[in-house]
A and B are shown apart, each in its own frame.
Chain A
Amino acid sequence: MTVQGIGAPVRRKEDRRYLTGRGTYTEDINRPGQLHAVILRSPHAHARILGIDTSAAARMPGVAAIFTGADMAKDNVGSIPCGWLIKNKDDTPMAEPPHPPLVPDRVRHVGDQVAVVIAETRNQARDAAEAIQVDYEVLPAAVDTAAAAKPGAPQVWEQAKNNVCFDWHLGDKAAVEAAFATAHHVTKIDLVNNRLIPNAMEPRAALGEYDRATGDYTLYTTSQNPHLIRLLMGAFVLHLPEHKLRVVAPDVGGGFGSKIYHYAEEAIVTWAAGKLGRPVKWVADRSESFISDAHGRDHVSHAELAMDQNGKFLALRVATIANVGAYLSTFSTCVPTYLYATLLAGVYATPAIYAEVKTVFTNTVPVDAYRGAGRPEATYLLERLVDKAAREMKIDRVELRRRNLIPRDAFPYQTPVALQYDSGDYQSTLEIALKNSDWAGFESRRAEAKKRGKLRGIGISTYIEACGIAPSAVVGSLGARAGLYESAAIRVHPTGSVSVMTGTHSHGQGHETTFAQIVADTLGMPIENVDIVHGDSSKIPFGMGTYGSRSLAVGGSAIVKALDKIVKKSKRIAAHLLEASEADIEFKDGTFSVAGTDRSVPFGQIALTAYVPHNYPITELEPGLEESAFYDPLNFTYPGGCHICEVEVDPETGVTEVVKFTAVDDVGRVINPMIVEGQVHGGLAQGIGQALYEICVYDKESGQILSGSYNDYTMPRAEHLPSFTVETHNTMCTHNPLGSKGVGEVGAIGSPPAVINAVIDALSPLGIEDIEMPATPQRAWRLIQTAGMARAAE
C-alpha cells in the first residue's frame, strides 16, 4: 500500500465541490432559449380519459406548447421498454403491456403522465397545467399486493389476466417435496416486505436540447447510467440514431437505484426540444418524486423450512407475490426473480430450494430496484425464518446458523438456485461479529435495561448478496436485454498525467477517488494526477453505468485491464529507451528499470516519448499512450457477513430505539477503507429505515398515496441511529483482477432482519414472535396490548 494507493483511506477528491456547493447538477445547467416543462399528472389511481381540453391553457401567458399522448402517438413515439423478459412456468413470455411516455386514454396510477405544458417559466407552465380540463371516468383500482391476483380484483391491463405479469419459478420442486415428506420439523412464516420510496436527495430532472443545424440531440439527466438511457430512449422510444444523441448525467445527488431507469420525462423533454427547436427543462418537485420515482420492494411471501432432528436444513420452499406497479420499469422484472430467488440459499448449505414468484400489476407507481434490489427481500425472508426455526426447534439461533453455514472449504459452492459462490468465510464474519457486539454479555444488558423499564433485545443476521450482475452470456440466456460488462479507457497525457474514462457513474460513491487510487497504485503517481471522467456519452466509452454495487468489481476491473495494456506498452517503450530486452524490464513505483542494473526511466518520460516519438520503435509500435478495455465478469461477486443489532423497546409507548449495531462484512479487496465504512454506514441507515420507519402507504380503495410527503414518510434521521461498529473481514473474489466484491448495498441488505429479530427478541418475554416492518411504535404497542390482554385472560 502506498500513501494514496490501494488500501489507503484517502479523503474524497470530489467532496470539495459537493461540500462547497460547486457541483453541477442537472438543474444547474441552463441552455440559451430554454423553456420549462411541467407534467400534468393523474389525480386518480385508475381512470379512463374521456377527453382533454387544452384550449384555455394554451392561451395562457408564456405557454409555448401543450402536448398529450395523442401528439406523441402521431409522431410514432414508442413505448418505454422493459429491460428483462421473464418467462412463465410454462415457458410463455410475461405480459408486457405498453408504457407510453404520455398516456393517451387511460391513467393507471396517481402521478401517471397525462400531458406536458411547456412555457417560458416554470410557474407559467404550472398555471397552464392547472387550466387543462381532463374528463376522467374513474375506475376501481387494484392496489393491494396480496389481493391483486384474486378473482374480482379490478384489472389494470387487459393483456395481464388477473393482473399477473408472470408466474415464474426456480429450483427443483420434486426434490423439495421429497425432503419435506421426510422432515423432522417444518417452520412456516408469512412476511411482508414493505414498500419504500427511494427519496434521493436530488429530485429527478431532465433537460432536452436539439440543434437544428447539426441534427444533434442532447439530454442532460439525473441518471446512474447515461449510455443505457441513450440506448433505450434512442432505439426504442424516440428512434434517434445513437451518433445523433448525446446523454449527459452530470453530478447526480444520490440514486439508490431510482435513477437507473429510463423515465418518461427524459423522452418527453428530448422529443419536445426537437418539436420546438428550443431546450426544454423539467425538474421534479419533491411531491412529484413521491409519485413518479420508481418505488422499491413490496413483497408478500410465504416460506417453509424443512429440518432434520438436529436442525439441519433439508429444503426450503418459498411463494412470493411481488408488486410491479402499473407499468414495467426498466429492471422491475429481474429484481423479484434473478436478484431474489437466486439468493434464497443465503449462507446456508440447504440442499434443495424451490421458489415461486408471481408478479402482479397494480394501480400504483412502478416498483423497481432499490438499494439491494431483491437481495434484501431474500435476506429478510431467510433470516426471519431461521430465527423462527430456532425458536421452534429450541436450538440457540447462533448455533442453528453455525450448523447450517456453508463450510469454508466448500468453495466454489454451487447453490440449488443457480448461483455459484466463489469465496466466503461466513464462520469468521459470524464469530467476529459475536465478539465485537459482546453477544455473550447481552443478558446482563437486558437485565440492566429492565431496571430502567425498557425491553432490550438482540438480533442477528448472517447474509450473502450478489453484486456485479454477470456474465452477459448467462444473463442474456435468462432474458436480459442488455450486456453487463463495463468499459474503461485510459488516456495518458504527454506529461504523464492520466484521464480515465469510465462507463460507470458516480452519484456519491466516491469513484473519482477510488478509481484514481487504482491508477495511482499501478502507475506510481499521486491521485491528483489522475482525473476520472464519467457520465457523458460523448466523452466515455459505451458503459452500463452504476447499480448493483458493480462499479468497482466490474468497472474497476475494466480499469485494471486497460492499465495492464498501458503498462505493457510502456514496458516496450522503456525497453527501447534503455536498450534492453522487454523481458528484463521491471516496473515499480512509477519507474521502469532494467533488472539487476541501475538503469531506469520514469513513467513520465515514457509518456512524453510516446507522444514525441523522436527516439521510438516506430516500425513496431504505434505512438501515443491510450488504451481501452471492456470487462465482462465470469460470475457475480458475493459479499456477505453478519450484522448484529441491539434495540430497546419502551413498553409504554412502543418506541424502538436502536442502541447498538455491529456489522462485519466481507467485501473483498478494499481500495479505500474510509469510503467502504461510509458506504456501510449509509446502507445501515437505509436498512434501519426500512425496518423501523419507512413505508409507502396507499389507500387500498382509492389508490391515493397517504405517505406522499415528509410529513408522513419517515426518513431515518441521525438521531435515530447509534454509532455503528463496522469492520470488514475480507476474502478475495476469485474471478476479477482486483478481488473486490462490492460494498454499496451490504448495509441495506444485512440489517433489516437483524433489527426486526432484535425487536422480536425484546418483545419475546411477552410471548410476541412476529412484527411487521416497519416496526413502528403503534405496531409494537398494539402487539404489547394484545399480549397483555392474552396474559390477563390466562
Chain B
Amino acid sequence: MYSFAYHRPVSAAEAEALAAKAGEARFLAGGMTLLPAMKLRLAQPTDLIDLARLGDLRGIKVSGSEVRIGAMTLHAAVAASAEVKRAIPALAHCAGVIGDPQVRNRGTLGGSLANNDPAADYPAAVLGLNATVHTSRRTIPADSFFRGLFETALEPGELITAVSFPIPERAAYEKFRHPASRYAVVGVFVARTGGGVRVAVTGAGPCAFRATQLEQALAKNFSPDALKGIKISADGLNSDIHAAADYRAHLIGVMARRAVAAIA
C-alpha cells in the first residue's frame, strides 16, 4: 500500500468538502474492493475519506410503497432484516448471497453501487426493482445509474446516501455463483409490479443491464415456459477462463427461468 491521508468526517457535507480539496480522493465505505486494490498497489488515492462515522447513511426504513436503505448499511443487515424480508424477500436474499460472511459484514450497499463491479449482485436488484439512488446532490433513477464497466452516473465527489426500492408484487434473484470469487458469473433479478415486468442481469456484461427480450416475453405470459426457446445473444457479453460469452448467455436464460419459476 502507498501512503495516503486518512480522513474521518462526520457528515456527508464534510465528506464532500474533503473530497473537493484532495488531490485524488476515494470514499471508503466497506472497503471490500478498494482496500485489496490498494494493498496490491493497483489503487493509490492521495486521500481516503472514511464514511464510517456518517451514521445517517446507515439504516433501513420500510414505508407503504418502498424500502429505503442507507448507503452505509451492511449487506448482512439487509439480509437479516425482518422488514426487508417481509417487503421484498428477494432483496434480502440478494444481499445474503453476496461474497461470504466476512464480506457481508463489512461491505455496504452504497459501496457496491458506486464501485459498480460488473459481477456485483446489488446492481441487479437496483435495476430489477427500478430503484432510485439518492446522492448528496440529487436522485438518480436506476435506469440511468449504471453506465459501463466500473462506471456510474456519479460525478466526482458525489456521495450515495440511500437507495429507495419500490415494493414489487413479486420478485426473485437467481445467482450462478463463481466458485472461486463468489461473485455472480450470471445473476438475474426478476420483478413483477403493477407497471410490468423487469429483468435485470448482472455478471454477464460490462455492467448490469435489462434483458428486454425476456421482459417482453414475460409481460405477455409470466411463466418459465414463456422464456423457453428464447436465444440470448452472446454479443458483448463477458468471457473469461471460467465462462465464455456463449455459456453466460445460456446461463441468463436458465437463471431467468428459475427466478420466474420461484414466483410465477
Is B truly associated with A? yes
Instruction: State the A residues within 8 Å of B (CB).
Output: 123, 126-127, 130, 287, 652-653, 693, 697, 706-707, 710-715, 720, 776-778, 781-782
Instruction: Report how far A208 CA is from B247 CA in the complex, Å.
Output: 50
Task: Choose one: B40, B180, B181; the contact of A287 (CB below 8 Å).
Answer: B40
Tell whether, in the assembled complex, residue B254 and residue A711 are in contact, meaning their CB atoms are under 8 Å apart: no
Q: Smallest distance from the beta carbon of A3 to chain B beta carbons, Å? A: 39
Tell whether, in the assembled complex, residue B181 and residue A123 are in contact, meaning their CB atoms are under 8 Å apart: no
Tell whether, in the assembled complex, residue B254 and residue A653 are in contact, meaning their CB atoms are under 8 Å apart: yes
Instruction: Report how far A707 CA is from B243 CA in the complex, Å.
Output: 13
Chain A residues with CB below 8 A from B1, complex form: 123
Instruction: Report how far A6 CA is from B13 CA in the complex, Å.
Output: 69
Could you show 26 A-B contacts with beta carbons less than 8 Å apart?
Answer: A123-B1, A130-B41, A652-B254, A653-B176, A693-B179, A693-B180, A697-B241, A706-B241, A710-B180, A710-B181, A711-B180, A711-B181, A711-B183, A712-B181, A713-B180, A714-B179, A720-B179, A776-B179, A777-B176, A777-B179, A777-B243, A778-B242, A778-B244, A778-B247, A781-B250, A782-B247
With A652-B254, A781-B247 as known contacts, state yes or no: A707 contacts B241, CB within 8 Å.
yes
Over the window 69-102 of chain B, the binary record of Cβ atoms lying under 8 Å from chain A Cβ atoms (1 yes, 0 no) is: 0000000000000000000000000000000000
Chain A residues with CB below 8 A from B180, complex form: 693, 710-715
Chain A residues with CB below 8 A from B240, complex form: 712
With A653-B254, A778-B247 as known contacts, state yes or no: A712 contacts B242, CB within 8 Å.
yes
Does B171 touch A at the CB level, under 8 Å? no
Instruction: Report how far A439 CA is from B242 CA in the complex, Å.
Output: 33
Task: Choose one: A130, A710, A712; the contact of B241 (CB below 8 Å).
Answer: A712
Instruction: State the B residues within 8 Å of A (CB).
Output: 1-2, 40-41, 176, 179-181, 183, 240-244, 247, 250-251, 254
Chain B residues with CB below 8 A from A130, complex form: 41
Q: Which 3 pairs show the lowest CB-CB distances between chains A and B?
A: A714-B180, A711-B181, A714-B179
Instruction: Report how far A712 CA is from B183 CA in the complex, Å.
Output: 11
Q: Smallest distance from the beta carbon of B182 to chain A beta carbons, Å? A: 9
Task: Choose one: A123, A127, A776; the contact of B242 (CB below 8 Å).
Answer: A776
Instruction: Report how far A713 CA is from B240 CA in the complex, Å.
Output: 13
Chain A residues with CB below 8 A from B244, complex form: 778
Given A707-B241, A710-B181, A778-B247, 18 additional A-B pairs, CB 8 A:
A123-B1, A127-B2, A130-B41, A693-B180, A706-B241, A711-B180, A711-B183, A712-B240, A714-B179, A714-B180, A715-B180, A776-B242, A777-B243, A778-B242, A778-B243, A778-B244, A781-B247, A782-B247
Most buried by B among A123, A130, A712: A712
Q: Smallest distance from the beta carbon of A792 to chain B beta carbons, Å? A: 14
Instruction: Report how far A761 CA is from B243 CA in the complex, Å.
Output: 24
Q: Smallest distance from the beta carbon of B253 to chain A beta carbons, Å? A: 9
Instruction: Report how far A55 CA is from B176 CA in the complex, Å.
Output: 51
Chain A residues with CB below 8 A from B2, complex form: 127
Instruction: Report how far A313 CA is from B215 CA in the complex, Å.
Output: 59
Closest to B3 in A: A123
Instruction: Report how far A693 CA is from B179 CA in the complex, Å.
Output: 8
Closest to B255 in A: A653
Q: Smallest distance from the beta carbon of A219 to chain B beta carbons, Å? A: 28
Closest to A699 in B: B241
Q: Smallest distance from the beta carbon of B173 to chain A beta carbons, Å? A: 16
Chain B residues with CB below 8 A from A720, complex form: 179
Closest to B39 in A: A285
Q: Smallest distance from the beta carbon of B222 to chain A beta carbons, Å? A: 20
Instruction: Report how far A714 CA is from B241 CA in the complex, Å.
Output: 12
Q: Smallest distance from the beta carbon of B195 to chain A beta carbons, Å? A: 30
Instruction: Report how far A422 CA is from B156 CA in the complex, Å.
Output: 73
Chain A residues with CB below 8 A from B183, complex form: 711
Chain B residues with CB below 8 A from A712, complex form: 180-181, 240-242
Instruction: Report how far A126 CA is from B250 CA in the complex, Å.
Output: 44
Closest to A713 in B: B180
Instruction: Report how far A710 CA is from B36 CA in the complex, Å.
Output: 12
Instruction: Report how far A720 CA is from B178 CA in the complex, Å.
Output: 12
Q: Smallest distance from the beta carbon of A324 to chain B beta carbons, Å? A: 23
Q: Smallest distance from the beta carbon of A120 to chain B beta carbons, Å? A: 15
Instruction: Report how far A761 CA is from B77 CA in the complex, Å.
Output: 43
Chain A residues with CB below 8 A from B247, complex form: 778, 781-782
Chain A residues with CB below 8 A from B250, complex form: 781
Chain B residues with CB below 8 A from A287, complex form: 40
Instruction: Report how far A686 CA is from B254 CA in the complex, Å.
Output: 30
Instruction: Report how far A327 CA is from B41 CA in the complex, Å.
Output: 29
Q: Smallest distance from the beta carbon of B78 to chain A beta carbons, Å? A: 21
Chain B residues with CB below 8 A from A652, complex form: 254
Chain B residues with CB below 8 A from A707, complex form: 241
Chain B residues with CB below 8 A from A715, complex form: 180
Tell whether, in the assembled complex, residue A653 and residue B251 are in contact, meaning their CB atoms are under 8 Å apart: yes
Chain B residues with CB below 8 A from A777, complex form: 176, 179, 243
Chain B residues with CB below 8 A from A778, complex form: 242-244, 247
Closest to B40 in A: A287
Q: Smallest distance from the beta carbon of A783 to chain B beta carbons, Å? A: 12
Instruction: Report how far A781 CA is from B242 CA in the complex, Å.
Output: 12
Most buried by B among A707, A710, A777, A782: A777
Closest to B2 in A: A127
Most buried by B among A123, A693, A781: A781
Instruction: Report how far A287 CA is from B40 CA in the complex, Å.
Output: 9
Instruction: Report how far A707 CA is from B1 CA in the complex, Å.
Output: 22
Q: Smallest distance from the beta carbon of A781 to chain B beta carbons, Å? A: 6
Instruction: Report how far A287 CA is from B176 CA in the complex, Å.
Output: 26
Q: Smallest distance from the beta carbon of A685 to chain B beta carbons, Å? A: 14
Chain B residues with CB below 8 A from A781, complex form: 247, 250
Chain B residues with CB below 8 A from A714, complex form: 179-180
Chain B residues with CB below 8 A from A653, complex form: 176, 251, 254
Instruction: Report how far A777 CA is from B176 CA in the complex, Å.
Output: 10
Most buried by A among B41, B179, B247, B251: B179
Instruction: Report how far A707 CA is from B176 CA in the complex, Å.
Output: 20
Q: Smallest distance from the beta carbon of A117 to chain B beta carbons, Å? A: 15
Q: Smallest distance from the beta carbon of B176 to chain A beta carbons, Å? A: 6
Instruction: Report how far A707 CA is from B181 CA in the complex, Å.
Output: 11
Instruction: Report how far A151 CA is from B254 CA in the complex, Å.
Output: 45
Q: Smallest distance from the beta carbon of A785 to chain B beta carbons, Å? A: 8
Instruction: Report how far A777 CA is from B250 CA in the complex, Å.
Output: 12
Instruction: Report how far A777 CA is from B240 CA in the complex, Å.
Output: 13
Chain B residues with CB below 8 A from A710, complex form: 180-181
Q: Smallest distance from the beta carbon of B260 to chain A beta carbons, Å? A: 14
Instruction: Report how far A582 CA is from B183 CA in the complex, Å.
Output: 72
Instruction: Report how far A781 CA is from B250 CA in the complex, Å.
Output: 10
Instruction: Report how far A776 CA is from B241 CA in the complex, Å.
Output: 11
Chain A residues with CB below 8 A from B40, complex form: 287
Instruction: Report how far A287 CA is from B240 CA in the complex, Å.
Output: 19
Q: Smallest distance from the beta carbon of B231 to chain A beta carbons, Å? A: 13
Instruction: Report how far A693 CA is from B131 CA in the complex, Å.
Output: 37
Q: Smallest distance from the beta carbon of B216 to chain A beta carbons, Å? A: 23
Most buried by A among B176, B244, B250: B250
Instruction: Report how far A782 CA is from B246 CA in the complex, Å.
Output: 10
Instruction: Report how far A130 CA is from B254 CA in the complex, Å.
Output: 46
Q: Smallest distance from the beta carbon of B178 to chain A beta carbons, Å? A: 8
Chain A residues with CB below 8 A from B242, complex form: 712, 776, 778
Chain A residues with CB below 8 A from B251, complex form: 653
Instruction: Report how far A782 CA is from B243 CA in the complex, Å.
Output: 11
Q: Smallest distance from the beta carbon of B149 to chain A beta carbons, Å? A: 16
Instruction: Report how far A123 CA is from B38 CA in the complex, Å.
Output: 13
Instruction: Report how far A711 CA is from B250 CA in the complex, Å.
Output: 22
Q: Smallest distance from the beta carbon of A704 to chain B beta carbons, Å? A: 12
Q: Smallest distance from the beta carbon of B93 to chain A beta carbons, Å? A: 17
Most buried by A among B1, B240, B241: B241
Instruction: Report how far A122 CA is from B68 CA in the complex, Å.
Output: 45
Q: Smallest distance from the beta carbon of A131 to chain B beta carbons, Å? A: 13
Q: Smallest distance from the beta carbon of A199 to chain B beta carbons, Å? A: 12
Instruction: Report how far A776 CA is from B243 CA in the complex, Å.
Output: 10
Closest to B244 in A: A778
Chain A residues with CB below 8 A from B176, complex form: 653, 777
Q: Smallest distance from the beta carbon of A362 to chain B beta carbons, Å? A: 19
Instruction: Report how far A23 CA is from B250 CA in the complex, Å.
Output: 49
